């Protein structure tokens, strides 16, 4: 496979150097692999820190900035960052009001963020953690005990980030993040496997003419494989899987997320089908976000994430945000 890289070993630091060049509003520590908003720590504000394996961009480094994360810790491709990164990030963003760790439910992330929370507490930083586990496709999978954390991570980081920007205390930001996670569900579909720089070939075998329903963001197996389906058929299946578990009973936030290798032309067409299905089910859509936000390198495919949206969640979703990967209202 052809890739726009130097050597596999330098992919992450090379990308961080590029991020530093493109976004002077961020402080990018290439050596220690921590991305921090330049004005951190912000006085009187709870700090938000997240992170995970690289290859899911713009998650998480692309969501560092006003109204979202204060810092992010990128690991190697599809590999958890290490506790030292997280402790360094927590110290960089702590203004004395505490730090919230947003953790996707993957075993490495959970173990390392838990260890980092203990180490940060030893250094005098108050830390709370929220686990994101929104994927309804499977209960246990590769890298995961319980449900995987996927698209709802964006909802948690945006909404909790807006509350923190308003000066909410740590307990309130944590509770809101938990509420958003509990109100969110996701389901993903792969049309073609991704290729990691180290492997140089597809990470799993998906024959031509087939798709994987319920795939994970690292290529973990889903529920089943089927012959290729139309956009409308995929929307029917994905929305049914989400609504079977979510039962919204009111308006929702909708994220139609590209896996990295699917063009916007297809994603918008898929969005139309998702709206059709939700309309048939009597589920009003309050806001829709479409694009590549929680990716899997060059995987072709998409995911659907829904979040039950009350007035407070909508207000915080609409609040200004200014990050490399998400920005409006400022």
Active site residues: 56, 218
Residues 59 and 317: beta-carbon distance below 8 Å: no
Distance between CA atoms of 213 and 226, rounded to whole angstroms? 8
Task: Provide the sign of the torsion angle of the four alpha carbons 259, 143, 234, 158, taken in this order.
Answer: negative
Provide the 3-class DSSP secondary structure of residue 134: coil
Q: Which helix (H) or strand (E) holds 75?
A: strand 71-77
Distance between CA atoms of 75 and 34, rounded to whole angstroms? 9
Structure tokens at 151: 């698209």
Angle, alpha carbons 192-243-68 (nearest 5°): 70
Q: Parallel, antiparallel, or unpaired: how do β-strands 300-308 and 321-322 relate?
A: unpaired
Q: Which helix (H) or strand (E) holds 306?
A: strand 300-308
Structure tokens at 42: 């912000």
Residues 260 and 194: beta-carbon distance below 8 Å: yes
Distance between CA atoms of 318 and 298, rounded to whole angstroms? 30
3-state SS, one letter per residue, for 192-229: ECCECCCCCCECCCCCCCEEEECCCCCCCCCCEEEECC
Structure tokens at 57: 């961009």
DSSP label at residue 18: H
């Amino acid at each position: 496979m052809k890739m726009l890289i130097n050597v596999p070993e330098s992919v992450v630091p090379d990308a961080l150097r590029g991020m530093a060049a493109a976004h002077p509003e961020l402080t990018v520590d290439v050596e220690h692999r921590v991305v921090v908003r330049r004005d951190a720590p912000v006085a009187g504000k709870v700090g938000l820190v997240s992170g995970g394996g690289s290859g899911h961009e713009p998650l998480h480094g692309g969501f560092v900035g006003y109204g979202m994360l204060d810092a992010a810790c990128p690991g190697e491709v599809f590999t958890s960052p290490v506790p030292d990164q997280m402790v360094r990030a927590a110290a960089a963003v702590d203004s004395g009001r505490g730090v919230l760790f947003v953790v996707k439910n993957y075993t490495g992330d959970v173990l390392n963020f838990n260890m980092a929370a203990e180490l940060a507490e030893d250094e005098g930083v108050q830390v709370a953690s929220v686990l994101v586990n929104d994927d309804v496709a499977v209960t246990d999978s590769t890298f995961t005990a319980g449900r995987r954390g996927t698209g709802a991570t964006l909802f948690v980081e945006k909404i909790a980030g807006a509350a923190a920007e308003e000066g909410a205390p740590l307990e309130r930001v944590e509770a809101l993040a938990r509420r958003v996670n509990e109100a969110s569900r996701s389901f993903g579909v792969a049309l073609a496997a991704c290729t990691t720089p180290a492997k140089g070939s597809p990470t799993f075998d998906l024959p031509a003419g087939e798709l994987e329903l319920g795939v994970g963001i690292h290529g973990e197996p889903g529920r089943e494989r089927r012959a290729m389906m139309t956009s409308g058929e995929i929307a029917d299946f994905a929305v049914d899987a989400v609504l079977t578990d979510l039962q919204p009973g009111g308006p929702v936030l909708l994220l139609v997320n590209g896996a990295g290798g699917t063009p916007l032309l297809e994603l918008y067409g898929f969005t139309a089908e998702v709206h059709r299905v939700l309309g048939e089910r009597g589920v009003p859509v309050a806001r829709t976000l479409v694009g590549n936000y929680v990716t899997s390198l060059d995987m072709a495919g998409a995911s659907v994430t829904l979040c039950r949206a009350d007035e407070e969640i909508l207000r915080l979703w609409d609040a200004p945000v200014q990050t490399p990967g998400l920005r409006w209202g400022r």
